[in-house]
Amino acid sequence: MNDTELFEKQIDVTFKNKELLKQAFTHRSYLNENPESGLQHNERLEFLGDAVLELIVTEHLYKSYPDKPEGELTTWRAALVNARMLAIVAKDLKLGDYLLLSHGETRETGKARDYILANATEALLGALYLDQGLKACKIIIEQYVLSKLPQVLEEKLFEDAKSRFQELAQEKTGITPSYQVLKEWGPDHEKNFQVGVTLGKDLIAKGQGMSKQEAEQDAAKAALIKQENIWN
């Protein structure tokens, strides 16, 4: 039994087109080291899977919570489909055991590794959509993504750290926080950013992420932890 068959057995899905599943597992870096492999990287599937995921999660929230306004549902959806949550989903699916990566990417850990895993989750959904349609994607998303909604609501993972820190900062100091990119590195398709959040001239905290928005949220969370102890 090869790797794709093992994965199919694990998720109880049999792909008609095995090449789509292989493509979902193939990171761009692998092709750089193995140009003769005949494979394609998973970034186009990731693009498609992102849309499939958002549609199914949006429909579920819309139908399940008819009394909730769109703004609140938007924050819930963001908590379910962000890179951090999708990396957790990837670990639940054991996607890391099947990915084709360069030697360098194989050694990645932390947020860089999680970003690869999150993208692979979206690529898998894109492949599944092309192979078997929306219904098959819905089953996987319900099992692995929407099942996390109770945790998101209970732990208030949907709360926006930037908004919370701005409210507190303005209340306690009268100053609106500002964010500045301190450092960025990595190739264009996998940029890393370090962002600092300041109050006036004081640097309060730093954050890191695979986008400026993610890094800003990370910085705001760090600032909340640091300042809430001082302000309370």
Q: Give me the active site residues, please.
A: 50, 122
**Residue 175: C-alpha distances to residues 50, 107, 178 (Å):** 37, 42, 9
Q: Do the beta carbons of residue 206 and residue 182 sit within 8 Å?
A: yes
| 37's tokens | 């492999």
Q: Give the count of alpha carbons within 13 A of 105, CB side only.
A: 21
| 56's tokens | 């199914």
User: Would you tell me how many other CB atoms lie within 10 Å of the CB of residue 153?
Assistant: 12
Of 63, 101, 58, 62, the closest CA to residue 80 belongs to 58
d(CA 122, CA 96): 14
